[in-house]
Amino acid sequence: MEWMIDTANLKAIKEAVDMLPVTGVTTNPSILKAELPFDYEEQLKKIRLLMPGCSMHVQLGSEECGAMLEEAADLRALLGKDIYVKVPVTENGIKAIRLLKKRGMNVTATAIYYPMQGMLAVSAGADYLAPYCNRMEQNEIDFGKAIGQMRDMIDLGNYPAKILGASFKNAGQVVRAIDCGAHAVTVAPDLLRSALKSALVTDAVAAFTRDYQRITTGE
């Protein structure tokens, strides 16, 4: 099971890496835009440095296949060969995924709303598939069922692809994605931390602390 953080905020990344068992970081142009102003390449390099040993997934901004290949090569030169380029699963994207895999690049297929999109990305050689769980739910697409169907295809065909659930707005969606077969999830740091500081947990710990004080000091 892999837990990744879906953010480009340097402070949030540092705090999450210090506290949580995270194995990777994911961004997209909209997530990065929230952190402006910055120099794009410098911001990516800072994120990379904050997460040594973790996977980093950076989305391509180009829509044409040739431009995607060039952008991916630039990102690999900037961030290292272990970088994962996120490619939206469109017609151009599927073509790019096949060519990027032939060039030995790591690929995360993204913007997945439909199981067949994910299945095509698996056949194209994608390393990770990122279904957009909350966005699917908002559009009355059963993301749990879709994850299960993609997982069945991966397991039956013995493909190396992993499902990386994304676009979460609450803990229930995260748990359901994992329950339905996601190998990994990428979650905003605040949502990850919210699971650890609910009122029920806080109250339970406060009671234990009071009782510990009593049994150890008699007060």
Instruction: Report, as residue numbers or ranges, the catalytic residues.
Output: 86
Report in angstroms how near the CB of residue 132 gets to ligand G3P at its nearest. 5
Q: Are 83 and 76 in contact (CB under 8 A)?
A: yes
What is the C-alpha separation between 184 and 77, in angstroms, rounded? 26
User: In whole angstroms, how large is the CA radius of gyration of the chain?
Assistant: 19
Instruction: Using the minimum distance from each CB to ligand G3P, give the nearer residue, 57 or 151.
Output: 57
Tell how far CA 120 is from the center of its chain.
19
Instruction: Using the minimum distance from each CB to ligand G3P, give the nearer residue, 28 or 149.
Output: 28
Q: Are 94 and 72 in contact (CB under 8 A)?
A: no
Structure tokens at 179: 């329950």
Instruction: Using the minimum distance from each CB to ligand G3P, give the nearer residue, 72 or 166.
Output: 166
Report in angstroms how near the CB of residue 28 gets to ligand G3P at its nearest. 5
Interface positions with ligand G3P (CB under 6 A) = 6, 26, 28, 132, 134-135, 166-167, 186
Report in angstroms how near the CB of residue 167 gets to ligand G3P at its nearest. 3
